Amino acid sequence: MISYKESGVSIENGDLLTEIIRKDMKTDNIGNFAGLYEHPYIPEYYLAGCTDGVGTKVIPLSQRKKYETIAIDLIAMNLNDLICTGAKPLFFLDYFATNTLNVEAASAFILALRKELEKYGCTLLGGETAELGDLVKEGHFDVGGFMTGIVRKDKVLKKENVKEGDVIIALKSSGPHSNGYSLIRKLHDSGLLNDELFEAALEPTYIYANEVISLTERGAVHAAANITGGGIEGNLVRSIPEHLCAVVYKNKIIKQPLFEELQKLAGEDEAYKTFNMGVGLCLITDTARKDAVFETCKAYEPFVIGEVVKNEKNTNFCFG
């Protein structure tokens, strides 16, 4: 079996860095899906901001000239984080770093960004293109994104809203989204993951923004968690207060052939720590609003994946 660490990525080191920064900066924003900024000019609102990239999924996508997918993935990695605060997107900026500028690739990517952002009422405000011949490998490029949004203070999604007895609703993912591709690529390059499943792993990331924003405006959701690197546990705990525990039932998860195979190849613990395992986003709400969430998010085959109980075992998360 090949682990994520053996493929070149350490989740533990990432968590350690976050904790070091959190202690030094002494702010609640560190470790959240997006940061909240308060300004006296808009006393009833927070500005929300986040940044993210697509990771090494860019490599097979660019080789296949799937520039639109790269654009969608970049927006998704930012917007799915932003909506975990309940914020609506305002504007987006991109960073395109390459060895030598390929105008066809760069223009296709940027035009796709603008087109996709329009679906969510978000403006492509600007960006930066950098040629870094001594830093980026020939024939390769990397992308990053920066998103700003706005949310009313009385509408913020946060763990403090979560209550004992709440249900945890999962929205289906389109695949691994944009996480774990150093391991996926290594498994494929080693001949362990077949071409069909590898191609399935390159599907664009689902973007849940319009549905979650609608639910937020109606007060139908308490908190949300974007399931990215670190898997279900590593992300869901960010939306659970200390005195409560999220209980998640693996047997409730909609099975996808790709994740079944990844679990066989990497082992169950490693797979659940690295991949979303078919769960793209978790929404936490009370039972009375469950039907509203199901109806609004029906495109993503919502299902109850768990519940919130008292923290009686000194843990914020457990698999049931």
Per-residue model confidence as pLDDT tens digits over 153-167: 999 999 999 999 999
- CB 297, CB 208: distance < 8 Å: yes
The better pLDDT of the pair 26, 288 is held by 288
- CB 187, CB 8: distance < 8 Å: no
Per-residue model confidence as pLDDT tens digits over 103-149: 999 999 999 999 999 999 999 999 999 999 999 999 999 999 999 99
Number of helices followed by number of strands (H, E) in the chain = 11, 11
Give 93's contacts (C-beta < 8 A, 6+ positions apart).
Answer: 124, 125, 126, 127, 128, 145, 146
Strand ordering across the sheet containing 279-285: 223-226, 279-285, 167-172, 303-310, 244-248, 317-319
Here the contacts of 198-201 (C-beta below 8 Å, separation 24 or greater) are: 198/60, 200/175, 200/257, 200/258, 201/175, 201/176, 201/258
- Cα(57)–Cα(85) distance, integer angstroms: 26
- Cα(27)–Cα(226) distance, integer angstroms: 21
What is the reported pLDDT for 10?
A: 58
The yes-or-no verdict on residue 151 having pLDDT over 90 is yes
How would you classify residue 46: left for phi > 0, otherwise alpha for psi between -120 and 50, otherwise beta? beta
What is the reported pLDDT for 32?
A: 85
Q: For the chain, where are the alpha helices, taking DSSP H only?
A: 11-25, 58-63, 67-82, 103-117, 181-189, 195-200, 209-217, 231-236, 257-266, 268-274, 290-296
The yes-or-no verdict on residue 26 having pLDDT over 70 is no
Burial status of residue 242 (CB atoms within 10 A of its CB: 0-12, 13-18, 19 or more): exposed
Least confident of 3-12, 26-35, 158-167: 3-12
- Cα(308)–Cα(162) distance, integer angstroms: 8
What is the reported pLDDT for 278?
A: 97
Angle at 257 between CA 255 and CA 259, to 5 degrees: 75
What structural domains and CATH numbers belong to the chain?
A: 32-155 (3.30.1330.10), 159-319 (3.90.650.10)
Per-residue model confidence as pLDDT tens digits over 56-115: 999 999 999 999 999 999 999 999 999 999 999 999 999 999 999 999 999 999 999 999
What is the reported pLDDT for 9?
A: 60
Q: Which of 29, 35, 147, 45 is nearest to 89 (CA)?
A: 147
